[in-house]
Amino acid sequence: MTTLTIDGKTVSAKPGESLLDVARRSGAEVPSLCHHPLLVPYGACRVCLVEVSKNGKSKLTTSCNYEVQDGIEVRTDTAGVRKHRKAVLELLLALAPEAPAVQGLARANGITAARYQRIEPPSGRARCILCGQCSRVCTEVVGAAALCLSKRGDRRGLVAPFEERVAQSCIACGACAHVCPTDAVEMESAAIERLRALSADRRPCRYALMGMMPGALCPNNYDCALCEVDQRFQEASSPHHPVFVARGLHRPKAWEER
Ligand code: SF4
Ligand code: SF4
Ligand code: FES
């Protein structure tokens, strides 16, 4: 076990655990936008900043992609943390001013008006903060790799591989929309229509592809109204997207309380 202190509290953690998860478990309130406990950390949104001290030296760091270490002292609410988090949120607000999650965090951090001019999103997704959570779930959990972040700087955007309009590998499972922190992904019917247009013997069922149903073809002939898995996905109250259940992954409580 690893032992560290968080806001003055001594805390134990498993080696390799993310500082963000451990801090939250200890009762600290650290915000996040791009962190999902079941995905590989990416450190894109920068709102999960904390201050870490080790051997007499302190630095600000993102906590979602910082592995716990023995003996470190972590403070989650210093003046430096608050100042830099506020600056990060002002930038995110310029990128995605209509995203409710960004607006909520901005308000909670004392931002009352936008300081920077609106940055036009290159991908055309007005609420996208380019956190890559959708592309990570698609690659790491679904295995379809139908989305990716491309280019850099002000040309950075979210695209299908080779900038196709609809990725041929997309199985229309909706996991990307499910994990997006800013509701920027809208499922289009184009992907599911493309699957339906394939001849019966070539049509894969998206949930069968995720290992949730035996066989590779849709047993309901693509009538999603008859599909139990699809109904479960549609239930707004369901905390789990089928893809996580299919992979034997379950979202811990911390994620529900995000
Ligand atoms: S719907 Fe599923 S397969 Fe398609 S892009 Fe989203 S996560 Fe990937
Ligand atoms: S669409 Fe959502 S999940 Fe994907 S990069 Fe943008 S904000 Fe992140
Ligand atoms: S949650 Fe840590 S950088 Fe986004």
194 CA → ligand 3 middle, Å: 34
**pTM metric for this prediction:** 0.82
At 253 the pLDDT is 40
171 CA → ligand 3 middle, Å: 27
CA distance 253 to 258: 9
At 41 the pLDDT is 93
Closest atom, ligand 1, to C-alpha of 191: 4
In contact, 20 and 47? CB cutoff 8 Å: no
Cβ–ligand 1 distance for 160 under 6 Å, the answer no
Minimum CA distance residue for ligand 2 atom 8: 131
CA distance 186 to 88: 26
Give a three-class secondary structure readout of the chain. CEEEEECCEEEEECCCCEHHHHHHHCCCCCCCCCCCCCCCCCCCCCCCEEEEEECCEEEEEECCCCECCCCCEEECCCHHHHHHHHHHHHHHHHHCCCCHHHHHHHHHCCCCCCCCCCCCCCCCCCCCCCCCHHHHHHHHHHCCCCCEEECCHHHCEEECHHHCCCCCCCCCCCHHHHHCCCCCCCCCHHHHHHHHHCCCCCCCCHHHHCCCCCCCCCCCCCCHHHCHHHHHHHCCCCCCCHHHHHCCCCCCHHHHCC
Cβ–ligand 2 distance for 134 under 6 Å, the answer yes
Handedness of CA 51, 56, 57, 62 (dihedral sign): negative
Identify which of 134, 138, 243 to mutate to test ligand 1's pocket (most ligand atoms within 8 A of the CB). 138
92 CA → ligand 3 middle, Å: 12
In contact, 45 and 101? CB cutoff 8 Å: no
Domain ranges of the chain: 1-119, 133-256
90 CA → ligand 1 middle, Å: 30
| Closest ligand relative to 18 C-alpha | 3
Mean pLDDT of each 10-residue bin along the chain, 258 residues long: 96 95 96 90 96 96 97 97 97 91 95 81 76 92 86 80 75 85 79 71 72 72 76 61 65 38
| Closest ligand relative to 95 C-alpha | 2
Q: How would CATH label the architecture of 1-119?
A: Roll (3.10)
183 φψ region: left (φ > 0), alpha (ψ -120 to 50), beta (else): left
Identify which of 21, 24, 32 to mutate to test ligand 3's pocket (most ligand atoms within 8 A of the CB). 32
At 72 the pLDDT is 97
